């Protein structure tokens, strides 16, 4: 590619996100004659489907979150940057990232945006203080601390009502994440710490799965959803359908049922698994390109995953809205690879590769030990065979030989035996998030992620900064900041 001053330089591809979409896009460009800059706000590639096992003490965080830098160390055209992208300027083809006050500006010829989705509390962000979601390593470790901490506190009390509150776990949302969490907490209570306590019987713990809709795992259909519900009952999960959570506080949750009655469930541990909100960067892209954004903040992309008027901007994975595609790892992986192929074809002067076609490789959710549901096209699997398929797929997603080996060992320990090796919980895990947020909202770890990432907040963030007027000019004037890859 020739620049404005006539010299030749390689095409600059900026990839935002090191999740399934971003990482697989970057890897698919390994042999391309391009420079790839992958920017992500975490230094790892996270296998989100295994987060529930980190939260319930089966796996360590390292096993499900390999360092991105290490994954891409042999890919010489890839450059990994730690930073949170806070702005994208489509006209100037520029991305701004920041980490701990260090701001960088990255110029691109092609941009792949795969910043994923965070938790949505559907307008009730205050619930987040008491009911963490499960989207990140921080979330999983906080939940682990809260879950094991509840058993520890229960051991110390002799008050009946307080004991019941401490041993009640409420999971909100009966999608795959909610089902997996509820099933694992029930198993943990029934099997793992049985002999570890003297004053309490952990097996008496009450695990309630609350769902506003009429079914468990509605996206899996009636048959598999029904079978998952039955299995949850067998492992001791109390499933409440048609139950809408109206309030959450430190002591419990308030619920309203479709038949009109209401109930309060006293519970020390609440887990929110009821809704997602795409990265606010979607709003930033939509605002400049005229693309629509749906209720979940996803950008309505063109059939080739690009933005209207911007064939050089590709949006993939959980951020993209196209043909009702689900928020699943395979959608992100295939989208990332497709965007990389589109870029390679354009560079080679070839015709575009046609519209993005998702090859449905199926959906799966584990329910408990030895039980899962799997849907592949018209085929339906459940029970042990489905559970084995889930483990195999999850093992495939884990990066690195040693992590795969230790994962299998931990599975043997946790599923065949009754041990959970990863029970470490620290005060910082449990209180760090809230302490930072309450100390100073500026100290929240993420400006654009998690429940802090409402699109409105991102827009305000963007609009409040002087860079809005003349980003490139201002970026060039910033002496303490680094401009990546000038022309
Ligand atoms: C608990 C849980 C269980 C799941 N189970 C399954 C399952 O069993 N099967 C399945 O197929 N799918 C499952 N999913 C969904 C699947 O994980 C997602 O669909 C997939 O990860 C989406 O990939 P992505 O690349 O779009 O986003 P992500 O994988 O979420 O990656 C987003 C990346 O962007 C980075 N990022 C975000 N904002 C910024 C920013 N402003 N600046 C820089 N970087 C940023 C993040 O750090 C991250 O690296 C599960 C999800 C969760 C949360």
What domains lie within the chain, and their CATH numbers?
A: 11-41+83-119+277-361+453-484 (3.50.50.60), 125-274+362-438 (3.50.50.100)
Out of 72, 183, 329, mutate this one to test ligand 1's pocket (max ligand atoms within 8 Å of CB): namely: 329
Shortest-distance atom of ligand 1 to CA 40:
44
98-102 long-range CB contacts below 8 Å, 24 or more apart? 99/41, 102/481, 102/482
Predicted pLDDT of residue 293: 96
DSSP structure class, residue 8: B
β strands within 316-370, DSSP E: 320-321, 363-368
Ligand 1, residues 42, 51, 52, 116: which to mutate, most atoms within 8 A of Cβ? 116
Stretch 227-245: mean pLDDT:
97
pLDDT at 322: 95
Nearest ligand 1 atom to the CA of 390 is 8
Work out the percent of the chain whose per-residue pLDDT is above 70.
89
Q: What pLDDT does residue 437 have?
A: 79
Ligand 1 pocket test, candidate residues 53, 102, 115, most atoms within 8 A of CB: 115
Whole-number Å distance, alpha carbon 46 to ligand 1 midpoint, is: 7
Atom of ligand 1 nearest to the CA of 328: 19
Q: What is the pLDDT of residues 329-383, one digit of tens each?
A: 999 999 999 999 999 999 999 998 899 999 999 999 999 999 999 999 889 999 9
Q: What value does the mean pLDDT take over residues 218-235?
A: 96
Please give the pLDDT value at position 140. 97
Instruction: Report how far Cα 135 is from the mean position of its chain's Cα atoms.
Output: 4
Question: What pLDDT, on a 0 to 100 scale, did the predictor assign at position 122?
Answer: 86
Distance 22 CA to ligand 1 centre (A): 10
pLDDT value of residue 449: 46
What percentage of the chain has pLDDT greater than the value 90? Answer: 80
Give the separation between CA 456 and CA 72, rounded to whole angstroms.
34
pLDDT at position 444, please?
57
Q: Catalytic site residues? A: 180
The average pLDDT across 197-219 equals 95
What is the Å distance from ligand 1's center to 265 Cα? Answer: 31
120 C-alpha to ligand 1 centroid (Å) = 14
Residue 447 alpha carbon, nearest atom of ligand 1: 41
Distance CA 381, CA 87 (A): 44
pLDDT confidence of residue 344: 97
Pocket test for ligand 1, best of 14, 17, 95, 179 (most atoms within 8 A of CB): 17
How does pLDDT run across 117-165, given as a tens digit for each residue? 999 998 899 999 999 999 999 999 999 999 999 999 999 999 999 999 9
> Ligand 1: which residues within 6 Å by Cβ?
16-22, 39-42, 48-49, 51, 84-85, 114-116, 134-135, 176-177, 279, 281, 317-318, 327-330, 332, 364, 448-449
- 55-66 mean pLDDT: 96
pLDDT for res 442: 60
Ligand 1 center–CA 388 separation, angstroms:
23
Q: Considering only CA atoms, which residue is closest to atom 27 of ligand 1?
A: 116
**Mean model confidence pLDDT for the chain:** 89
Q: What is the pLDDT of residue 446?
A: 54
- pTM, two decimals, is 0.90
- 188-202, 204-218, 266-280, 286-300: the lowest-pLDDT one: 188-202
Distance 438 CA to ligand 1 centre (A): 26
CA 197 to chain centre: 34
Ligand 1 centroid from CA 45, angstroms: 9
Residue nearest to atom 7 of ligand 1 (CA): 49
Residue 391 CA to ligand 1 centre (angstroms): 19
Q: Which atom of ligand 1 is nearest to the CA of 331?
A: 19
Radius of gyration of the chain (CA): 23
Q: What is the pLDDT of residues 404-415, one digit of tens each?
A: 999 999 999 889
Position 445 scores a pLDDT of: 54
pLDDT at 194: 73
Residue with CA closest to ligand 1 atom 33: 17
Span 103-125, mean pLDDT? 95
Place of tokens 């020739």: 2
Residue 421 confidence (pLDDT): 87
Q: Say what the pLDDT of residue 471 is.
A: 34
- Measured distance CA(485)–CA(487) in Å, rounded: 7
Which range (30-34, 83-87, 275-279, 470-474) has the least confidence?
470-474
As a whole number of angstroms, the distance between CA 71 and CA 51 comes to 20
Strand, coil or helix: 58:
coil
- The 10s digit of each residue's pLDDT in 237-273 is 999 999 999 999 999 999 999 999 999 999 999 999 9
**443: pLDDT strictly greater than 80:** no
Residue 51 scores a pLDDT above 50:
yes
User: Which of ligand 1's atoms lies nearest the C-alpha of 44?
Assistant: 49
Average pLDDT over residues 48-77: 97
Half-sphere exposure of 347 (CA within 13 A, CB side): 21
pLDDT for the residue 450: 39
Over residues 368-422, the pLDDT tens digits come to 999 999 999 889 999 999 999 999 999 999 999 999 999 999 999 889 888 888 9
Report the greatest alpha carbon distance in the chain.
79
């Amino acid at each position: 590619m020739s620049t404005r001053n006539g010299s030749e330089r390689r095409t600059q591809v900026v990839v935002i996100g090191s999740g399934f979409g971003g990482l697989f896009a970057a890897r698919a460009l390994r042999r391309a004659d391009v420079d790839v800059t992958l920017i992500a706000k975490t230094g790892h590639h996270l296998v989100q489907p295994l987060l529930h096992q980190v939260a319930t003490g089966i796996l360590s965080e390292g096993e499900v979150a390999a360092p991105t830098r290490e994954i891409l160390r042999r890919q010489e055209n890839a450059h990994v940057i730690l930073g949170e992208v806070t702005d994208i300027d489509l006209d100037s083809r520029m991305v701004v990232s920041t980490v701990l006050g260090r701001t960088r500006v990255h110029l691109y010829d092609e941009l792949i945006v795969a910043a994923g989705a965070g938790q949505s509390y559907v307008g009730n962000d205050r619930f987040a203080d008491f009911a963490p979601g499960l989207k990140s390593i921080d979330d999983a470790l906080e939940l682990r601390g809260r879950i094991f901490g509840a058993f520890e506190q229960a051991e110390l009390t002799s008050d009946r009502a307080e004991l019941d509150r401490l041993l009640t776990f409420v999971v909100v949302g009966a999608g795959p994440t909610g089902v997996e969490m509820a099933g694992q907490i029930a198993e943990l209570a029934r099997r793992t710490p049985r002999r570890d306590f003297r004053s309490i019987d952990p097996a008496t713990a009450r695990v309630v799965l609350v769902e506003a809709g009429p079914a468990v795992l509605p996206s899996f259909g009636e048959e598999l959803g029904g079978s998952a519900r039955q299995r949850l009952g067998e492992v001791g999960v109390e499933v409440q359908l048609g139950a809408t959570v109206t309030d959450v506080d430190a002591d419990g949750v308030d619920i309203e049922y479709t038949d009109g009655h209401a109930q309060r469930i006293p519970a020390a541990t609440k887990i929110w698994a009821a809704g997602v909100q795409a990265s606010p960067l979607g709003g930033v892209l939509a605002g400049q390109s005229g693309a629509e954004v749906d209720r979940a903040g996803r950008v309505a992309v063109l059939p080739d995953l690009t933005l209207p008027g911007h064939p050089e901007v590709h949006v993939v994975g959980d951020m993209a809205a196209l043909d009702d595609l689900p928020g699943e790892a395979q959608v992100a992986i295939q989208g990332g690879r497709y965007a990389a192929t589109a870029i390679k074809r354009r560079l080679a002067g070839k015709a575009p590769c046609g519209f993005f076609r998702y090859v449905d490789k199926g959906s799966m959710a584990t329910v408990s030990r030895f039980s899962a549901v799997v849907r592949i096209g018209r085929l339906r699997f459940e029970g042990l065979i489905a559970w084995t398929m889930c483990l195999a797929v999850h093992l495939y997603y884990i990066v690195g030989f040693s992590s795969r080996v230790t994962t299998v060992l931990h599975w043997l320990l946790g599923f065949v035996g009754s041990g959970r090796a990863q029970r470490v919980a620290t005060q910082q895990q449990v209180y760090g998030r809230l302490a930072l947020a309450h100390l100073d909202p500026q100290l929240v770890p993420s400006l654009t992620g998690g429940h802090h990432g409402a699109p409105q907040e991102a827009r305000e963030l963007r609009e409040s900064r002087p860079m809005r007027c003349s980003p490139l000019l201002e970026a060039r004037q910033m002496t303490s900041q680094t401009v990546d890859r000038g022309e």
